[in-house]
Amino acid sequence: MLPRRFCHCHRARLQFLSTRLIGQNVSGDQYDVIVVGGGHAGTEAAAAAARGGAQTLLVTQKLSTIGTLSCNPSFGGIGKGHLVREVDALDGLCGRLCDQTGIHFKVLNRSKGPAVWGLRAQVDRLLYRSAMQREVCATALLNVREASVEDLMVEDPDASRPGLARVTGVRLGDGAIVLGRAVILTTGTFLSGSLKFGTSSVPGGRLGEAPSVGLSLSLSELGFTKGRLKTGTPPRIRKESVNFDKLEVHHGDERPVPFSFMNAEVAIEPSQQLLCHLTYTTPGVEDVVRDTLAANDHVQQDTKGPRYCPSIESKVLRFPGRAHQVWLEPEGLNSELIYPQGLSMTMPVEAQVALLRHIPGLEAADIAAAGYGVQYDYLDPRQLHPTLETRKVQGLFMAGQINGTTGYEEAAAQGIVAGINAFLHTRSLPPFTISRTEGYIGVLIDDLTSLGVTEPYRMFTSRAEFRTILRPDNADQRLTERAYHQTGCISGARVVTARHIASRLSEGISLLKSLCLSSYRWKQLLPEVGISQERSGHMSAFDVLQYRGVTLDALAAVFPQDLVPFLDLSDRIQVEALYEPHAEQQKLDMEQVRRDEQLVLPTDLDYLHLPASLSIEAREVLHRHRPPTIAAASRLPGVTPAAIMHLLYFLRASGQQKEAGGPLVER
Partner 1 sequence: MKQGLPPPRTAVLHSISDPNSGELLDRGLLLWFPGPQSFTGEDCAEFHVHGGPAVISAILQALGSLPGLRPAEAGEFTRRAFQAGKLDLTEVEGLGDLIHAETEAQRRQALRQMAGDLGHLYQTWSHTLTRALAHLEAFIDFSEEENIEDGVLNQVDNFVRQLQMEIHSHLHDNRRGERLRSGVHVVIAGEANAGKSSLLNAICQRPAAIVSPIAGTTRDVVETALDIGGFPVLLSDTAGLRDTHDIIEKEGVRRTRERLEQADLTVALLDVVGLLEASNKLTHLLFSFLEDLNVRQKQQCILVLNKIDLLHKKELNDLHCALKKEEDLPTVCWLSCKTGSGIEEFLRVLRAELEILCGNPLLGMPSLTQARHRSHLHKCLEALGLYEYYKRADMALAAEGLRSALASLGRITGKVGAEEILNLIFRDFCIGK
What are the residues binding partner 1 (CB under 8 A)? 72, 77-79, 108-109, 112-116, 118, 306-311, 314-315, 318-319, 322-325, 327, 341-342, 344, 451, 458, 460-463, 465, 467-468, 548, 578-579, 582, 585, 595, 599, 613, 635, 637, 640-642, 644-646, 648-649, 652-653, 656, 663
3-state secondary structure string across 342-405: CCECCCCHHHHHHHHCCCCCCCCCCEEECCEEEEEEEECHHHECCCCEECCEECEEECCHHHCE
Nearer to partner 1, 255 or 318 (CB): 318
Give backbone dihedrals phi and psi of 58, rounded to 5 degrees, phi first.
Answer: -105, 120
Sheet strands side by side (includes 200-203):
200-203, 194-197, 372-379, 226-233
For the chain, what percentages of helix, strand and coil (3-state, to nearest 5) are there? 45, 20, 35
Distance, CA of 256 to CA of 260 (rounded, Å): 12
Nearer to partner 1, 325 or 506 (CB): 325
| Helix intervals (H) in 204-335 | 214-221, 283-291, 297-300, 312-318
Per the CB < 8 A criterion, the answer to whether 209 and 62 are in contact is yes
CB of 433 to partner 1, least distance (A): 19
CB of 290 to partner 1, least distance (A): 16
CB of 307 to partner 1, least distance (A): 4
Nearer to partner 1, 73 or 342 (CB): 342
Report the b/e string of 75-94 with b at 16+ CB within 10 A. bbbbbbbbbbbbbbbbbbbb
CB of 168 to partner 1, least distance (A): 39
Across-strand partners of 344?
311
Nearer to partner 1, 37 or 306 (CB): 306
What secondary structure letter does DSSP report for 629? B
Distance, CA of 202 to CA of 60 (rounded, Å): 21
CB of 329 to partner 1, least distance (A): 11
Nearer to partner 1, 20 or 112 (CB): 112
CB of 88 to partner 1, least distance (A): 21
CB of 460 to partner 1, least distance (A): 5
Per the CB < 8 A criterion, the answer to whether 132 and 43 are in contact is yes
Distance, CA of 357 to CA of 375 (rounded, Å): 28
Per the CB < 8 A criterion, the answer to whether 450 and 627 are in contact is yes
CB of 62 to partner 1, least distance (A): 27
Nearer to partner 1, 134 or 436 (CB): 436
Nearer to partner 1, 221 or 659 (CB): 659
Nearer to partner 1, 135 or 447 (CB): 447
